[in-house]
Amino acid sequence: MKINAVFFDIDGTFFDHVSGTVLPETLKAVELLQMNGYKVCLCSGRAKEMAEQLGVLQMFSWDGYVGGAGVSIYDEHLELVSESTFTREQTERIFALGKQYDICIQSHGAYEFMTKPLNAYTKQAFEEFHCLVPEVREWRHEALTAISAYEKKGYDWHMFDEIEGIILQHPSDTCVDIMQADINKATGIRKLMDYWGFPRNSYMAFGDSLNDIEMIQEAGYGIVMGNGKEALKPYADLVIGPSNEPVIYETLKDFHMLDKVN
């Protein structure tokens, strides 16, 4: 299959949390991919604002961005193409349960806030993902796109099972992302592939976490990092080395996607 685009997850894939940087070889790979005519995008659980906090959106003129694990889709100018919000009923119930169980709830994106001050659980997640601490306040009935909750490792999140149309994803030991059930990274990528006029699965994807499953499955070629979750690896066409080694560059080179085009 002809590959027209390449999508990189951010944390633990494009951005290496061992070194706290993007490897120079990975940066070179993105530059060469774009020179060779491939569309190159980041596809992350991070809202656009959180990706900007990390500095990765400023590194290139990306051909698009998929944020919130498929919730928000941006074009090559980082202008919004489409976005999905929680229903009012879902949002009300999420924050009500947060109060009932004394859980910290955080909103990402256009409305950045958290309902409780930083504690050990939120601090661990914020440090892991290099996030800025938002203001502490209650929900003011805004339409929200991305919501997370924080508690100790191994916490039982069963209370959210009652909310129709949502699922939970686990980006770290002390955090869950509360997601709209019919939205994931693959659905977001489809919208960009349609926007460009490419076959929907004519892309290569690199990922490491469980919110990458659908993206890896649907990709023409799905690649999982060696440091990725073990439960993700069976879905991969190829498992490569960890993100602190120049394996993204080496893999793309092996596929001859970095060869100079005359």
Radius of gyration (Cα) for the chain, nearest Å?
18
Residue 116 Cα distances to 40, 103, 129, angstroms: 37, 8, 19
Q: Is the pLDDT of residue 99 over 60?
A: yes
Q: Any residues with CB less than 8 A from the CB of 19 and at least 6 apart, and which?
A: 244
Q: Is the pLDDT of residue 95 over 60?
A: yes
Nearest 10 degrees: Cα torsion 146, 151, 157, 162: -50
Angle between helical axes of 24-35 and 247-254 (0-180°, round to 10):
30
Give which of 94, 139, 87 is closest to 112, Cα–Cα.
139
Give which of 27, 9, 125, 21 is closest to 66, Cα–Cα.
9
**Residue 170 pLDDT grade (very low, low, confident, very high; cuts 50, 70, 90):** confident
Residue with tokens 């569309």: 39
Average pLDDT, whole number, for the chain? 94
Q: What is the pTM of this model?
A: 0.91
| Amino acid at residue number 243 | S
Give which of 90, 50, 65 is closest to 9, Cα–Cα.
65
Q: What is d(CA 106, CA 216) in angstroms, rounded to the nearest whole number?
A: 27
Q: Is the pLDDT of residue 159 over 60?
A: yes
Q: Any residues with CB less than 8 A from the CB of 262 and at least 6 apart, and which?
A: none
